[in-house]
Structure 1
Amino acid sequence: MTLNDYKREFLLHLVRTGAIRFGSFRLKSGRLSPYFINIADAMRTGSDAVKVANAYAARIKELDIEFDYIHGAAYKGIPLAALVAMRLSEWGINKRWGYDRKEEKRHGEEGAIVGELRDGDNVLIVDDVITTGATKVESWLKLASMRRKVKPAGILVAVDREETSDADKKMLEEHHLKLYSILKITEIFEFLYNREIDGKVYVDEAVNKAFREYSSKYGTRC
């Protein structure tokens, strides 16, 4: 399994920072997963955060997405939106960015949305991972209710767990939400399988077998 430079560096960063871990983890959905991803662990320091921003920005450039506004879904998407906007500006791509509040502010000028979201904007949503599409649709509907005729440019996540059901995919399609990811979970396992990273094999035969069994039960290929 080969990955291009920025994807490989991003994956190695996730592994080295413990942002992706292997074992047995109970998810919010109740599923028992052989791996767990927490992008916040990949952004503990300024230099770590830059590496994450580089990967998101590189993927955006590669996809050549047309957008006006970068939206960070509360809460994990908030620092991502800021970091990605800053990195893109260094590459000559200067875009507005903002985020939503879990609870609307009742005083001052800002309400549910913080940032200069304009009527008619093409909005790119950035977030950490996607398991199902329901929360992403909810985030989009909240955003769309704030301004008239905003259009979805897509949703970009660090890792697609590839667990979206046909119903989830249909729901995303109904709202014209295109899903993009820096990495897919199958790419991660294929790259790491029996590969030594800094003297350690993270995905050996047992871990890979657990993933195959989990994927056969819950996984889908987009």
Structure 2
Amino acid sequence: MLTESKKAFIEFMMSADVLRFGSFVTKSGRNTPYFVNTGNYKTGEQIAKLGKFYASLIKETVGEDFSAMFGPAYKGIPLATAAAASLYNEYGISKPYFFNRKEEKDHGEGGSLVGYKPKDGDKIIIIEDVITAGTAVRETMPILYGCGNVKVNDMFISVNRCEVGKVPGKTAIMEVNEEFGIKVHAIVTVEDIHEYLKQSEKYNNILPAMEDYMAKYCIL
């Protein structure tokens, strides 16, 4: 259901040129009528607002029941940082955060993790932008499991594209859940975006392409 806060998030993404409509090709080679590029957030105001949306979703789904938040390099780094700041500013919840380097550092403290150092028994939540094929999650999990005996039960993303993954009949999110036991929570889904477009006549030209795409690739 398209709530006021989901509508606000869709409009926020559009105003930041993060959610765009047209003709694009995704990493998985699919021609898509819409594209989400969180690399387009670039102002203090945008990252502050984005952090609030993530913090609100974290608060309502897991509350304080986690040890630390992890932002996978590179796009997850500002997202986890903004979410950690907003959780504290909005709800008084102060949690550690950490992220990985893509390249090992061979001087100073070394290693590939920056920030909090996870320990056995920790519950880690992952903060990401979108999941299309689940590739980033598969790269992230060995890093987290390499930290010790940690649990990763929840992941937070901006948009659930609801797209079929590697296995016919299953979305990438279903695969991630089956493979790693991770529940993925999205601020909005492709259905919310579709619902939003239907509410205004100015998107009539995009709707058919959107509906074709959803029929072809989405499991709703």
Please give the TM-score of this superposition, normalised by the length of structure 2.
0.90
Summarize deviations over 1:117-145 as a string: whole Å, max 9, x none.
22121111001111122321321222211
What is the total number of aligned residue pairs between the two structures? 212
**Structure 2 runs not aligned, ≥5 long:** none
Work out whether residues 34 and 211 of structure 1, in 8 Å CA contact, stay in contact via their aligned partners in 2: yes
Aligned partner of 2:46 among 45, 48, 54: 48
Secondary structure of 2:104's match?
Answer: coil
CA 1:140 to 1:193, structure 2 compared with 1: closer, same or farther past 3 Å? same
Secondary structure of 1:157's match?
Answer: strand
Summarize deviations over 1:4-56 as a string: whole Å, max 9, x none.
33x22221111112111101001121111101111232x32111111111100
**Structure 1 runs not aligned, ≥5 long:** none
Aligned partner of 1:182 among 181, 187, 191: 187
Work out whether residues 54 and 187 of structure 2, in 8 Å CA contact, stay in contact via their aligned partners in 1: yes
Equivalent residue for 1:161?
161
CA 1:171 to 1:49, structure 2 compared with 1: closer, same or farther past 3 Å? closer
Secondary structure of 1:104's match?
Answer: strand
* Counterpart AA for 2:103: E
Q: Percent of counterpart pairs with the same letter?
A: 36
Equivalent residue for 1:92?
92
RMSD: 1.7
Counterparts of 1:47-196 in structure 2, within 5 Å, are 47-65=45-63, 66-90=65-89, 91-119=91-119, 120-145=121-146, 147-165=147-165, 166=170, 168=172, 169-195=174-200
Partner Cα separation in structure 1 for residue 95 and residue 17 of structure 2: 31
Work out whether residues 69 and 117 of structure 1, in 8 Å CA contact, stay in contact via their aligned partners in 2: no
Higher mean C-alpha displacement, 117-126 vs 73-82: 117-126
Secondary structure of 1:183's match?
Answer: strand
1:194 to partner: Cα distance: 4.3
Partner Cα separation in structure 1 for residue 155 and residue 87 of structure 2: 17
> Which ranges of 4 or more aligned residues in structure 1 deviate by more than 4 Å?
none
1:95 to partner: Cα distance: 0.3
CA 1:74 to 1:164, structure 2 compared with 1: closer, same or farther past 3 Å? farther
* Counterpart AA for 1:195: S
Partner Cα separation in structure 2 for residue 141 and residue 128 of structure 1: 19
Work out whether residues 51 and 83 of structure 2, in 8 Å CA contact, stay in contact via their aligned partners in 1: yes
Matched, 1:35 2:40: no
Partner Cα separation in structure 1 for residue 159 and residue 86 of structure 2: 19
1:172 to partner: Cα distance: 3.1
CA 1:167 to 1:39, structure 2 compared with 1: closer, same or farther past 3 Å? closer
* Counterpart AA for 2:209: A
Secondary structure of 2:127's match?
Answer: strand
